[in-house]
Amino acid sequence: MFLLVKLAFIIGAFLYRILNRPLGFFGDRKTIEGTDLKIVHSKYSSSILIPFKSRFIFKLNPETQFDKFLKGLGLAKEFQTGNKEFDDRIYLASDSLTLNKHLAEDIDFINLVIELSKIGFDQIVVDGNNFRLKFSKDKLYENNFLNRAVKIFQILESIEKKWHGKFLDAYAWKYILTEGLLWSVAGYAVSILIEFSDGVAVYYDIFPLVKEGLIIGAITAIILIVLIFYQFRGSSRGHRIIIECAVIIIFAIPISTIDLICVLNEKLDHSKTVKIELLIEDKRIKVSHSRRRTTRYYRLELAQKNHYRIYQIPQTLDVESDLYELASIGDYLIIEVSPGRLKHPWYKKMTVSPTSSLANSKR
């Protein structure tokens, strides 16, 4: 079951990042200066959304001190249009020299963006499928604001129609593909957290496995961050790509590494198991409430009269709900512990029996 969940999270996260399609069908339809658009609302902002099939991909936003700081560190290299006011106010994230040249030579585009920045906007994004301008909701009823946004779109549309060559953007699709792959890893990590949240015991001692996974994950994360840094440090989008990817890597890679070790340890394990039987002294359900959901833990209280030289099972053990329903006080929980391919012992099988098959054996 969880294999399908993981696969769905991986594919979903990858497609979301690659397609990058806003939910425009929720928007309010408008027509301004002959251009059909939708205005999509979120809790704190709104966006003008116009379908726009284009060969170029870029983003511009008011330049922040953070942008300037990271440019100073050499994490990004921004194209300069030659218009001082525009270059001081706006951060242009585009690595297509052809597109940058067109934008720098279009004085109407330069002036419109400067005017828009004085009024206030969050960002303008062209992602190959849509033109999107994000702004605060208080600008929604300012006609001049919306009219300027549409004029900027029309200029970009005109550039797209007139240009017969190829927009040379060395980083655009490499950036999208890199982020798509990393978001798929993040989706995988989220599915793992959902799986782990059920509280069912699988490992005899999970901490050595977690430690090993974190060490390997940390080494892998550092290698990936270094590779991404050297791939994108010359891009105008470099600092954003590097930081976003680093955050995803730091979160997703260690979790994914731990799960990978679990999978290899279990699926490649063909060792003989050690059978342990313990008397069930009590059973209870613990309910945990949070804002988003209620979680139930199915717990068996086990007698500790039996002592095994290799494995000492905890007195309280969380089990699957189906096994919990089968168990009764006075029954025996039969656990088959396997040493694991990577030497991490795990509970390979659990069953319940009303009698002990080891009654005459040494315990």
DSSP 358: T
Q: How many CB atoms neighbour CB 341 within 10 A? A: 16
Domain boundary among 142, 162, 182: 162
Residue 6 lies in a domain: no
Place of tokens 């008011």: 62
Domain boundary among 234, 267, 300: 267
Q: What is the pLDDT of residues 148-192, one digit of tens each?
A: 889 999 999 998 887 766 655 666 777 778 888 888 888 888 888
Tell whether 246 and 280 lie within a shared domain: no
292: left (phi over 0), alpha (psi -120 to 50) or beta: alpha
Number of domains comprising the chain: 3
Tell me whether residue 308 is exposed, middle or buried, using C-beta atoms within 10 angstroms of its C-beta: 0 to 12, 13 to 18, 19 or more: middle
Alpha-carbon distance of 99 to 103, in angstroms, equals 6
Residue % of the chain over a pLDDT of 70? 86
Residue 129 lies in a domain: yes
What domain range is 191 assigned to?
172-267
Q: How confident is the model at residue 307 (pLDDT cuts 50, 70, 90)?
A: low
Domain boundary among 97, 130, 162: 162
Q: What is the pLDDT of residues 216-235, one digit of tens each?
A: 999 999 999 999 888 887 77
